[in-house]
A and B are shown apart, each in its own frame.
Chain A
Amino acid sequence: MRSAWRWLAVLAACLMPMAAARAELPTHTLTFTADGRFDPPRLEVEPGRFKIVLVNQSTQAVEFESLPLRAEKVLAPGVTSFVVLSLSRPGEYPFFDDFHPQAKGVLVVKPK
């Protein structure tokens, strides 16, 4: 047990500094509307590192999810949060709401 904790502590110590220091990023907003849609359903971004502010305007919980984007975020009703993504390959990255599977959208990384 002791070795497991030591291992965890070492890992945490190695990882933490990398989380620090982050410059101001290009920011886009994605809203989950009161009637259960993503707005905009098609979000276009420049390649690189950017931030998506997620706004849940509905009265239900939302789970923004996309394996191609490597993102997953649960939003309680009325909550605003964000994800930071880093995408260099142009293309279409679909995402959806895991709690309302009919709500879908796509993030488009424009060619350079």
Chain B
Amino acid sequence: MGEIAFIVWRESVEALLVVGILYAWLRTEPAGRRGLPWLWAGVGCGLLLAGALALALLGLATWLPGDGPEWFQAVMALAASALVVQMVVWMRRHGRGLKRELQTGAAQQVESGHWWGLLVLVMVAVAREGSETVVFLYGSVLSSQQHGGVGAAVLAGLGGFVAALATFWLLQLGGKVITWRRFFQLTEILLLLLAGGLLVGACDRLIALGALPTLMDPVWDTSAWLDTGAGLGKLLADFAGYRATPALSQLLIWLAYWVVVAWLLRRAGRTPAPRAVAGGHHVAG
């Protein structure tokens, strides 16, 4: 039963960490609070998608033939990483300057386009981990039926989820220990690492599908020092895209990602935020 609780905790925590980092990140900036409804919409869409994916995994529904699910996941991951970068850059540019416009409501229409990254990222994280958890629990309950311990299996699953919620809460406490400014920067870096990890994962799928040449595979092999099978290596692999045996194309794409991100952030920091409405309604603050 301990194993059921642990697996549910681990799967839930992966999704809740994404939600938690985003939640903490949004709360640190006045402009970010506007994004909270998009965050919860992402959770809702993610749960719906998780249900659909779980049905597909259970073999009850197959609307995506053959490689379909792989392509779907690869495209979703690519879209999410691109949208996250767009969102972070936008937030960097508008974070503080937008407070007044937000209060007048003038920027409301302009900004909605920038929250899709949030919605898609949350949806992908929740759908992915959620569907796996559903299938895992389904199997656990099914097999415990034969041994007469359904109640215990369900309780263990619930226990795992509650432990994950506690982890989420601990993450939110982080904002109280260090300054908001520092916390904002930290969560921003975590988001960019996460988006880079999604990109590396998408490369893996595309290589497996034969759509992306490896150029050289692997470039190096660090599995003896930091293996991706367990522990720290697995954590870094899941969240930051670490690979013990990366392909050259994958490595180049990852490097290009950071060059583009650095360039975009530098540019966002330099240019002053454009006004939402020219000569807009100014509120003394």
Interface string of A90-106 (1 = CB under 8 A from B): 00001010011100000
Q: Does B7 contact A (CB under 8 A)?
A: yes
- Tell me if B79 and A8 are in contact (CB < 8 A): yes
A8 vs B75: C-alpha distance when bound (angstroms): 8
A7 vs B243: C-alpha distance when bound (angstroms): 28
Residues on the B chain within 8 Å of A62, using CB: 139
Main secondary structure of the interface of A (DSSP, over half): mixed
A94 with B229: in contact, given A4-B116, A77-B143 (CB under 8 Å)?
A: yes
B82 CB → nearest A CB, Å: 8
Q: Does B84 contact A (CB under 8 A)?
A: no
- Tell me if B211 and A18 are in contact (CB < 8 A): yes
Residues on the A chain within 8 Å of B187, using CB: none
Q: Does B102 contact A (CB under 8 A)?
A: no
- Tell me if A99 and B7 are in contact (CB < 8 A): yes
Interface string of A1-41 (1 = CB under 8 A from B): 10010011001100110110000000000000000000000
Residues on the B chain within 8 Å of A83, using CB: 208
Residues on the A chain within 8 Å of B140, using CB: 60-61
Question: What is the count of residue pairs linking A and B with beta-carbon distances less than 8 angstroms?
Answer: 100
B100-116 contacts to A, CB under 8 A, are 112-113, 116
A68 with B139: in contact, given A79-B58, A79-B59 (CB under 8 Å)?
A: no
Question: Which of A19, A76, A77, A83 has the most C-beta atoms of chain B within 10 angstroms of its own C-beta?
Answer: A76
Interface residues on A, range: 35 or more
A67 with B204: in contact, given A4-B79, A16-B71 (CB under 8 Å)?
A: yes
- Tell me if A68 and B58 are in contact (CB < 8 A): no
Question: Which of B136, B210, B244 has the most C-beta atoms of chain A within 10 angstroms of its own C-beta?
Answer: B136
A18 vs B213: C-alpha distance when bound (angstroms): 12
Picked from B116, B139, B209, the residue with its CB within 8 Å of the CB of A19 is: B209
Interface string of B214-230 (1 = CB under 8 A from A): 00011000010000111
B116-145 contacts to A, CB under 8 A, are 116, 131-132, 135-136, 138-140, 142-143
Q: Does A89 contact B (CB under 8 A)?
A: yes
Q: Does B185 contact A (CB under 8 A)?
A: no
A49 vs B207: C-alpha distance when bound (angstroms): 12
Picked from B7, B131, B143, B209, the residue with its CB within 8 Å of the CB of A59 is: B143
Q: Does A45 contact B (CB under 8 A)?
A: no
Residues on the B chain within 8 Å of A101, using CB: 230
Q: Does B98 contact A (CB under 8 A)?
A: no
Which residue of chain B lies nearest to A86 when distances are taken between CB atoms in the complex? Answer: B210
Residues on the A chain within 8 Å of B74, using CB: 15
Chain A residues proximal to chain B, CB less than 8 Å? 1, 4, 7-8, 11-12, 15-16, 18-19, 49, 58-63, 67-68, 70-71, 74-77, 79, 83-86, 88-89, 94, 96, 99-101
- 8 shortest A-B CB distances, which residue pairs? A61-B139, A59-B143, A60-B139, A76-B58, A70-B204, A67-B228, A70-B208, A61-B135
17 A-B residue pairings within 8 Å (CB atoms): A4-B83, A11-B78, A16-B71, A58-B139, A59-B139, A59-B146, A60-B139, A61-B136, A61-B140, A63-B136, A68-B223, A71-B208, A74-B57, A79-B59, A86-B208, A88-B217, A94-B229
